[in-house]
Amino acid sequence: MLFGEIKTRRPIRWGMVGGGRGAQVGYSHRSAALRDNSFQLLAGAFDIDPEAGKAFGQTLLVSPERCYADYQTLFAEEAKRADGIEAVTIATPNNTHYAITRAALLAGLHVICEKPLCFTVAEAKELRDLAAQQNRLICVTYGYAGHQMIRQARAMIAQGDLGEIRIVQMSFAHGFHSEPVELANPSTRWRVNPEVAGPSYVLGDLGTHPLYLSEVMLPQLQIKKLLCSRQSFVKSRAPLEDNAFVMMEYDTGAMASMWISAVNAGSMHQQKVRVVGSKASLEWWDEHPNQLRYEIQGEPARVIERGMGYLYPEAQVDDRVGGGHPEGYFEAWSNLYYRFAMAIEAMDNGNPDLIDELCIPTAEAGYEGVRWVENCVRSADQGGVWVDYQ
Ligand code: NAD
């Protein structure tokens, strides 16, 4: 159970690029990083507009002289200080992630980057290699992975509670962009512009989330082949898709499917992962993250609840309030962020083996997300055909 105690020797000195006032995801990072005193926000280049960024930083209690005009100045000036930042979060639109991550690593910083880590597999490999050379960590914020029931699912599958895994059915299909809302909303506008969003919209923006959850739950499965069909139901979004279907075959012969959509009218999120085994199935839904459905063939379905003594130990370590009280999105992010702090400290102490035990999305997860999108786009652009996973 967590009681808000710091998990590292001291808070990591931390800065942010992006996540300014009005940004969609900036507050999620700050709320998570500051929650358990894992990080201390000391500097930033918070906004593409330097003046807006400086003004906003001060409302977060960052000293005026450490609210910088851009990320280049942030990294250069902080490197000169004895108390300069040690880690930076990058919460800017997709097309900036590669350059900012690269610059941060070269400046000797640990990086927490939003997904997608970059646009191409070649870039992802380069960043992964650079991080290794610089002895720095890259973390990627697949925030849903911090939910306790994801750990329970992972443990149940590892213990054989489902039997042999046969089918994985995933979705992340909301309805918020059923209309061309991008005409009025800047946070959506760049998402449907390939120059800023990259080679996909919903595949990268949404699909990589359940994909990462499936990797956490089912680390033993490797995708062998994949077929993707993608559509732009709001025509002005072409060539980027606002809906896609993906089928996958794993090396074990198990099969998976994923429905990814921003035009599922009326739906809030519909992010679900259902794992079907030879004996039983389990299902997690992000709109009810404290519960896991467990369905044994021939028995009444069960609802497993967060915060209960019957859970596997790994599903109990992040319990903050006991069973019955709902925990949610912000707690999941905090659970990842305190682990990011522990991983950074482990790296600095020359103890990288601990990072595997922390089960966090690192450069490898960032690379896998970019790789999956690249394979999906390759299949879709050939007309929706099976392609070998590269
Ligand atoms: P947004 O458009 O709402 O906000 C972007 C912010 O970055 C703004 O404050 C903008 O001023 C700032 N910015 C842009 N370029 C900058 C630069 N060069 N230097 C400094 N600041 C800059 O975007 P958003 O929806 O918050 O998305 C940001 C990133 O987070 C995207 O990559 C997106 O895919 C990702 N995201 C992830 C999740 C998740 O669950 N992990 C959720 C939402 C968004």
Please write down the HEC assignment for all residues of 183-250.
Answer: HCCHHHHHHHCHHHHCCCCHHHHHHHHHHHHHHHHCCCCCEEEEEEEEECCCHHHCCCCCEEEEEEEE
Residue 261 — left, alpha, or beta (φ > 0 → left; ψ -120 to 50 → alpha)? beta
Q: Which of 17, 25, 31 to mutate to test the pocket of ligand 1 (most atoms within 8 A of CB)?
A: 25
106-141 pLDDT, tens per residue?
999 999 999 999 999 999 999 999 999 999 999 999
Is there an atom of ligand 1 within 6 Å of 286 CB? no
d(CA 172, CA 154): 19
Is there an atom of ligand 1 within 6 Å of 115 CB? yes
What pLDDT does residue 247 have?
98
Between the CA of 97 and the centroid of ligand 1 the distance, in Å, is 10
Is there an atom of ligand 1 within 6 Å of 89 CB? no
43-100 pLDDT, tens per residue?
999 999 999 999 999 999 999 999 999 999 999 999 999 999 999 999 999 999 999 9
- Ligand 1, closest atom to CA 26? 26
Is there an atom of ligand 1 within 6 Å of 205 CB? yes
SS3 assignment, position 173: strand
Taking all residues of the chain, what is their mean pLDDT, rounded to a whole number? 98
What pLDDT does residue 285 have?
98
Pick the residue whose CA is nearest to atom 11 on ligand 1. 47
161-205 pLDDT, tens per residue?
999 999 999 999 999 999 999 999 999 999 999 999 999 999 999
pLDDT-derived band at 225, boundaries 50, 70, 90: very high
d(CA 80, CA 17): 18
Between the CA of 114 and the centroid of ligand 1 the distance, in Å, is 8
- Ligand 1, closest atom to CA 49? 11
Between the CA of 118 and the centroid of ligand 1 the distance, in Å, is 13
Which helix (H) or strand (E) segment holds residue 364: the answer is helix 363-381
- Mean pLDDT throughout 254-278? 98
Pick the residue whose CA is nearest to atom 38 on ligand 1. 25
52-63 pLDDT, tens per residue?
999 999 999 999
Spell out the domains of the chain, with CATH numbers in brackets: 12-144+337-362 (3.40.50.720), 147-317+369-388 (3.30.360.10)
- Say what the ipTM of the complex is: 0.99
Residue-level length of the chain: 390
341-353 pLDDT, tens per residue?
999 999 999 998 9
Is there an atom of ligand 1 within 6 Å of 25 CB? yes
Longest dimension (CA), the chain: 66
Q: Which residues contact 160 (CB under 8 A, 6 or more apart)?
A: none
CB 92 within 8 A of CB 100: yes
Residue identified by tokens 């999956």 is 372
DSSP for 258-283, please give it: EEEES--TT-S---EEEEEESSEEEE
Which helix (H) or strand (E) segment holds residue 285: the answer is strand 280-285
Is there an atom of ligand 1 within 6 Å of 178 CB? no
